[in-house]
Amino acid sequence: MRSRKRIWIARDFLKCSGCRKCEIACSLHHEKRIWPEASRVRVFMLVPGAEVPHLCVQCEDYPCVKSCPTGALSINQKTGAVLVDDEKCTACGVCISSCPGRVPHLHPVKKTILICDLCEGRPQCVKVCQEGNWDALETTTRSSWQVYKIHARTPEEITREVVRNLYGEAGEGMI
């Protein structure tokens, strides 16, 4: 099966330093600018210390692709990443609400949807995170057994869990 060779970006939130080098690398790669809101991976800090790199997990059933009314979203058969056709995207926002993690977001200037394209199998965000030995992001091989969709969660949902892990009882009510 082709999907076996596909990669997946695993996240370890407890290891994320919040340096946002992933955002910097991503936006430099895709936009030739340092541009936090145009980065395909964005670090949310709803609670200090509980930084959450937020990006597409490539759900098995691709609800965003299915829901797109203009056919602007497709699946890269090689990597499994969601591809955006800027010409067809009307910024209607249906993919945002169909995503369980509300991951897709609008390019602040182009006004087309941004979704991680896995950098053709060599994610720049992972590279920089590994260079710094943080290993909060890691490229893994996608297993056909796992259900990756469970990782598509909103920043609030993930933060709530991470805060509990980091701060225990003190974390209750932080968000």
Partner 1 sequence: MRGYAGKFLDIDLSTGEITKTTFNENLLKSFIGGRGLAAKILWDRLGEKWETVDPFAPANVLTILTGPLTGFFPGARVCVSGKSPQSNGMVGSTVGGEFGVELKCAGYDGVIVTGKASKPCYITIFEDQISIKDANHVWGKDGKQTLKILTKEGRKELKANFTEYGELKEPQVLYIGPAGENQTRIAAVMEKWTHAAGYGGYGGVMGSKNLKAIVTKGLGPLPEVEDIEKVRELIKQADKKCFKSHSFRRWGTGAAGYTVGAKTSSEPVRNWQDEWHDERGFAVDKFEQRLWVKRYWADYGCPTSCLKIAMPKTGEFKGCITDNPDYELQAYLGPNLGIFTPEDNVYLSSLIDDLGFCGIQGGNTLAFAAELYQRGVVGKEDLDGIQLEWGNTKAFGELARKIAKREGLGALFAEGSYRAAMELGKKKGMNLTQYAVAEKGMAIGAHGLRSGRDFPDIMAYACNVQAGDHTSLPSTPTELENSEFNTILDDSGVYCSFNTFSTGIDLIWDFFSAVTGWQELRQNWYETNALRILQMQRVMLLLGGPDLKWKANVDDDNPPRFYEPLPMGPYKGKAVNRELFEEQKQEYYEAMGWDKNGLPKPEILRKLGLDDVESKLKHAGIL
Interaction site with partner 1 (CB under 8 A)? 14-15, 17-21, 24, 27-28, 31-38, 42-49, 54, 91, 93, 96, 102-106, 108-109, 111, 128, 131-134, 154-155, 166-170, 174-175
C-beta of 76 vs 130, nearer to partner 1: 130
DSSP tally for the chain: helices H, then strands E = 5, 8
Rounded distance between C-alpha atoms, residue 124 and residue 130, angstroms = 10
Closest residue by Cα to residue 8 from 130, 101, 140, 103: 140
Closest residue by Cα to residue 100 from 154, 46, 57: 154
In the complex, what is the shortest distance from the CB of residue 115 to partner 1, in angstroms, rounded to a whole number?
11
C-beta of 7 vs 16, nearer to partner 1: 16
C-beta of 97 vs 143, nearer to partner 1: 97
In the complex, what is the shortest distance from the CB of residue 157 to partner 1, in angstroms, rounded to a whole number?
11
Closest residue by Cα to residue 54 from 134, 115, 113: 115
